[in-house]
Structure 1
Amino acid sequence: MKRPYPGTAPLTGLLTMYLDGFGRPSIVDATQEDIERARAQVYPTFPPFSWITGRVVADVTVDEGGAPARDGAAIPLRWYTPPGPRTDRPLVVFFHGGGWVQGSTRMYDPICSHLASRLDAVVVSVDYRMAPEHRAPVAAHDAIDATRWLHEHADHGVDRRRFAVCGDSAGGNLAAIVAQQLKDLSADGLPVIRHQALIYPATDLTLASPSIREHAHGAVLDEAKIHTFRRHYLGDAPDAVPATDPLVSPLFGDVTGVAPALVQTADLDPIRDDGTRYASALRTAGVEVRATNYVGLPHGFASFPGVARTGQQHRAELVTQLRHHLGEGS
């Protein structure tokens, strides 16, 4: 079992030590059966577990739905709707993390219900198809297709003129890609996607960020896991999507005119510099950016806000930025 990673707060270090040592099998050694079992795992939503992962807001209604993919497949959607009869709520399209291989919409009930409640917004979590069964760029295509369909067909009292995209890690990658690919989506002469909230996003699958080597043996995520996730997602076939394709590495895409961004990074994260480099690219293109690096925290801190010493600050910043940019007329 690993020791707590240097620099982490005591409680955070103990939790990450548990996740690395006693949780599900490492993706590095995981079989397909292990991967499928991990996808089905959901943390308990009652105390004391919810003290760590955050509670699921009780009065937010959770529904299931779907959107069509370009290849005819169905993309499952998980809807979070606050109480009340409003018919003009903004919509946040959420993409979960997990290296494009693991994770699920249900695992993110705490943060999605929190955003729905605090923003008085509808949140839709996209259950995009994952690798290795579905290699790149299927996840990106699903993310784009679901967002476009929601703009055209969303109900639940959604104002289709005011969208934001949000995600963590691999989900942050997909949110950034959607913000690029759908930046021309408009209504009443204004961009539909008003904001992109990127939580420790993966933006460069060439693995050129110096922090990958700096934190090669980091907690929760390390260099070996990064290479494994990348191999599952991109594959090694002759026709595999190159790592520099903007549909897998938004750092290489055209960021001119994309929505204003919040980029949250974890200081002890191997992909910290993916976020900082992307924020720099956005600023260079004239995009409004707020970038915050959370000192002493590892990758994944948004999933255990009750233990991370700045978990509430991260959530407050996230809500504040989304609320500001989704406001009527913004």
Structure 2
Amino acid sequence: MTARLPLRTQVFATVLGRLATPVEEATDHAALRAQRTRLMNTPVGRAVFGTPDRRARAETIEIPLRGRTLTALIHRPTGVGGRRPVIVNFHGGGWVQGSPDQSAWLASRVAAGSGATVISPSYRLAPEHPFPAAVDDTWEALNWIADHADELGLDVDRIGVMGDSAGGNLAAVAAQRSVVEGGPRLRAQVLIYPAVEMYEKFASELRMPDEPVLSAKNMSAFAHLYLGDAYGTQDPLASPLRAKSFDDLPGAFILTADHDPLLDNGVHYRDALQRAGVRVRYREYPGAVHGFLSLPGVSPVAHRAVSDIVDYVAAHVVVPG
């Protein structure tokens, strides 16, 4: 049985629904992003979305790629020396919204708790830059980070990826490409309520069309904006669940929320990985909405989930078995 949503989460979802323009109604996506940034930087926004952990120090770098430059936010754990293990983290936002700052609470908590450096690169957003721009950016950023590990103070032999929602999609794709295309040898992938299927609708989406934070209408709008002319594609670079093979992928920790239409995306990806013999840890969090790990101020379960991620990263990346 699905757990009831905490009252704080219900109130926040109601207020957010009145303040924020739904993505399916937006005509100016740059303005919609600015609206979210302003909300996050208000006192109430900081209380809801959290603030970076002071046990990790942050710095911004630039990642020069062919024809473009990405920014990346680095969270380094304080009080530890030597070359650090690294988690490359891709933010969520439906491929349309979001930034590395959006996941600073999560990334800094993982860095401070696990002892790994967490790097969150930006990527080009739709609809200005539709698929496969985000896929190309995140893949090339991952490789750039691995290639520059020495100067960044990183241990390239202890590297993993992490992402939430759209970022979970991009992390899963990057993990697959690392195997198929000979990229960095990843030790783990942390996939937080990932969107891994862009073509087929699963039962959870049909069963929960009007959940807080992410509705079925939102999902459809994000998919159309992200894929553009490629909408309807079954390309595994868009839908990693459609990969030809899941063999040799790194172990995964898949987190889902029970009030999330994307719930079954995580379940089906878990099953696909397990059938291929990939080690998977799976956890569904009760009384949680999509995006709950970005809402620590109103979603108590966010703190439990980030502790679970810290433990997983510490065991599988920082001190691999």
**What TM-score, normalized to structure 1?**
0.90
Tell me what 1:192 maps to. Answer: 185
1:274 aligns with 2:265: yes
Tell me what 1:261 maps to. Answer: 252
CA distance change for structure 1 residues 295 and 84 in 2, over 3 Å: closer, same or farther? closer
When you count helix as a share of all residues, which structure comes out higher?
2
Tell me what 2:296 maps to. Answer: 305
For the Cα contact (< 8 Å) 1:45–1:55, is it kept in 2? no
CA distance change for structure 1 residues 264 and 127 in 2, over 3 Å: closer, same or farther? same
Tell me what 1:34 maps to. Answer: 31
Name the stretch that deviates more: 126-135 or 176-185: 176-185
For the Cα contact (< 8 Å) 2:161–2:171, is it kept in 1? yes
Q: For residue 219 of structure 1, what is the amino acid of its counterpart?
A: P
Q: Distance in 2 between matches of 1:262 and 1:45?
A: 33
Which residue, 212, 232, 236 being the options, matches 2:225? 232
1:170 aligns with 2:166: yes
**1:154-204 per-position Cα deviation (integer Å, ceiling 9, x unaligned):** 3332111111101110000011111110136889xxx73101001100000
Structure 1 position 43, deviation (Å): 1.6
CA distance change for structure 1 residues 228 and 49 in 2, over 3 Å: closer, same or farther? closer
Tell me what 2:242 maps to. Answer: 252
Which residue, 205, 208, 227 being the options, matches 1:212? 205
Q: For residue 295 of structure 1, what is the amino acid of its counterpart?
A: P
Tell me what 2:124 maps to. Answer: 129
Which residue, 1, 5, 10 being the options, matches 1:13? 10
Identity %: 34
Tell me what 1:142 maps to. Answer: 137
Structure 1 segments unaligned to the other structure (5+ residues)? none
Q: For residue 235 of structure 2, what is the amino acid of its counterpart?
A: D
Tell me what 1:56 maps to. Answer: 52
Structure 2 segments unaligned to the other structure (5+ residues)? none
1:104 aligns with 2:95: no
Structure 1 position 292, deviation (Å): 0.7
Tell me what 1:223 maps to. Answer: 216
Which residue, 105, 108, 115 being the options, matches 1:113? 108
For the Cα contact (< 8 Å) 2:115–2:314, is it kept in 1? no
Q: Tell me the matched-pair count.
A: 317
Tell me what 1:291 maps to. Answer: 282
Tell me what 2:86 maps to. Answer: 91
Q: For residue 210 of structure 2, what is the amino acid of its counterpart?
A: H
Q: Please tell me the root mean square deviation across aligned C-alpha atoms, in Å.
A: 2.2
Q: For residue 79 of structure 1, what is the amino acid of its counterpart?
A: I
Q: Distance in 2 between matches of 1:120 and 1:204?
A: 33
**What TM-score, normalized to structure 2?**
0.92
For the Cα contact (< 8 Å) 2:52–2:105, is it kept in 1? yes
**1:202-243 per-position Cα deviation (integer Å, ceiling 9, x unaligned):** 0000142111111111110001111100110011x3xx2753
Q: Alignment partner of 2:97: what SS?
A: coil
Q: Alignment partner of 1:62: what SS?
A: strand
1:318 aligns with 2:313: no
For the Cα contact (< 8 Å) 2:115–2:318, is it kept in 1? no
Q: For residue 109 of structure 1, what is the amino acid of its counterpart?
A: A
Structure 1 position 42, deviation (Å): 5.8
For the Cα contact (< 8 Å) 2:176–2:249, is it kept in 1? yes
CA distance change for structure 1 residues 304 and 36 in 2, over 3 Å: closer, same or farther? closer
CA distance change for structure 1 residues 226 and 49 in 2, over 3 Å: closer, same or farther? closer
Q: For residue 269 of structure 2, what is the amino acid of its counterpart?
A: Y
Tell me what 2:62 maps to. Answer: 66
